[in-house]
Amino acid sequence: MATIQNPDIRRALAERIRYYNELGIYDFYQRERQVGEASVATEVAAVVSTTQPEQREEMSPRKSAAVAAIPDESALEARTPKPEQQTTDSVAALKLIREDLGDCTRCKLHQQGRKQIVFGVGNPQAELMFVGEGPGADEDQQGEPFVGRAGQLLNNMIKAMGIRREDVYIANVVKCRPPGNRTPERDECDTCSPFLMRQIAVIKPRVVVALGAVAAKNLLAINAPMSELRGRFYDFMPAGARSTDPNWQGAKLAVTYHPAFLLRDPRQKGEAWKDLQMVMKYLGLKPPKSPV
Ligand code: SF4
């Protein structure tokens, strides 16, 4: 095996391996070098420096990847089991993820006015999970996702499905409020979403509902308009979070409009209700007899 001496390249390659691990890719192979080809180090440096974020956005998490294998301590560390995988108690497991997150400074949102980290709320064994894009002002204030006006609407949507807010689990792609309620940026989502994936892997829901395009694109790693994303189920396994439970091999994922969007354009509520009815049918839920 070729040895890569350049520390920058070693570091970049370790980062890349960690990134593939987060996507659930653990097996790598090294292609035989042909006469006249660039050295492994040169080849890797080129890959690392030319791969653009947009290309990552289109990448399927299930494709295998061809990158040169190097025995690097930090890469090996990335393959070690996550703390929550040591327990089957979902409450304890979520607590371990929260502890691992700590007073997080991993992305720039930690220094852009957040009051607190908004981890997630609800039933740790929920069959149904809702995922939004990020906390707003009310959520930042109260430390709980979907508590403002959009949260009230989400509560009504949940009630209309014949269940209660306490029955489901609610979280966001990023756990800190983006300033001015702007859309979370790509690097912020990439940094924070592995924690969401770990939450999903612990909760093991039967259905995940992505609220809005940001959540849908981050969960599914595909870039498509809402009109194409809605109206069907996707097979979903959280990236980088291997299931050790033979009874849970992933969830169904549905996409619907974000409640904040529905507040701005109430005409789309009927479409959102169609999405939720699809979910209800799958979960065997019946709407309550008295109107919500
Ligand atoms: S958004 Fe996520 S990754 Fe960024 S600082 Fe907050 S908790 Fe950490």
Please tell me the predicted confidence (pLDDT) of residue 288.
84
Task: Quickly state the pLDDT bin for 173 (edges 50, 70, 90).
Answer: very high
Q: Which residues line ligand 1 (CB under 6 A)?
A: 101, 104-107, 109-110, 117, 174-176, 188, 191-192
Between 265 and 246, the higher pLDDT residue: 265
Write the DSSP assignment of 98-162 as a string of letters. HHHH-S--SSGGGGTT-SS----EE-TT-SEEEEES---HHHHHHTSSS-SHHHHHHHHHHHHTT
Please tell me the predicted confidence (pLDDT) of residue 81.
81
Please give the number of the atom of ligand 1 that sits closest to the Cα of 105: 5
pTM: predicted TM-score of the whole model, two decimal places: 0.75
Query: Best of 111, 116, 117 to mutate for ligand 1, by most ligand atoms within 8 A of CB?
Result: 117
CA–centroid distance, 185 to ligand 1, in Å, is 12
Q: How many Cα atoms sit within 13 Å of 5 on the Cβ side?
A: 1
Please tell me the predicted confidence (pLDDT) of residue 1.
43
**Which stretch of 7-11, 32-36, 267-271 has the lowest confidence by average pLDDT?**
32-36
Q: How many Cα atoms sit within 13 Å of 51 on the Cβ side?
A: 17
Please tell me the predicted confidence (pLDDT) of residue 247.
86
Residues 6+ positions from 35 with CB-CB distance below 8 Å: none
CA–centroid distance, 279 to ligand 1, in Å, is 30
Please tell me the predicted confidence (pLDDT) of residue 47.
38
For Cα atoms 233, 248, 19, give the angle at the middle one, nearest 5 degrees: 80
Please tell me the predicted confidence (pLDDT) of residue 72.
44
- What 8-state DSSP symbol labels residue 178? P
pLDDT at 100 over 50: yes
Query: Best of 101, 108, 110 to mutate for ligand 1, by most ligand atoms within 8 A of CB?
Result: 110
pLDDT tens, position by position, 66-99:
333 334 444 444 466 889 988 999 999 999 999 9
Contact 211, 259 (CB under 8 A): yes
> Whole-angstrom Cα distance, residue 24 to residue 79?
10
> Whole-angstrom Cα distance, residue 256 to residue 269?
10
> Whole-angstrom Cα distance, residue 292 to residue 279?
18
Mean model confidence pLDDT for the chain: 81
Task: Quickly state the pLDDT bin for 15 (edges 50, 70, 90).
Answer: low
Please tell me the predicted confidence (pLDDT) of residue 9.
63
* DSSP β-bridge partners for residue 251: 236
Please give the number of the atom of ligand 1 that sits closest to the Cα of 174: 1
Please tell me the predicted confidence (pLDDT) of residue 79.
60
pLDDT at 61 over 60: no
Please tell me the predicted confidence (pLDDT) of residue 62.
33
**The amino acid at 198:** R
CA–centroid distance, 189 to ligand 1, in Å, is 9
pLDDT > 70: percent of the chain:
70
Please give the number of the atom of ligand 1 that sits closest to the Cα of 107: 4
pLDDT tens, position by position, 108-136:
999 999 999 999 999 999 999 999 999 99
Please tell me the predicted confidence (pLDDT) of residue 48.
36
Mean pLDDT, rounded, for 161-167 = 98
Nearest residue (CA) to ligand 1, atom 3: 192
CA–centroid distance, 109 to ligand 1, in Å, is 6
Please tell me the predicted confidence (pLDDT) of residue 57.
30
pLDDT tens, position by position, 203-255:
999 999 999 999 999 999 999 999 999 999 999 999 876 666 788 989 999 99
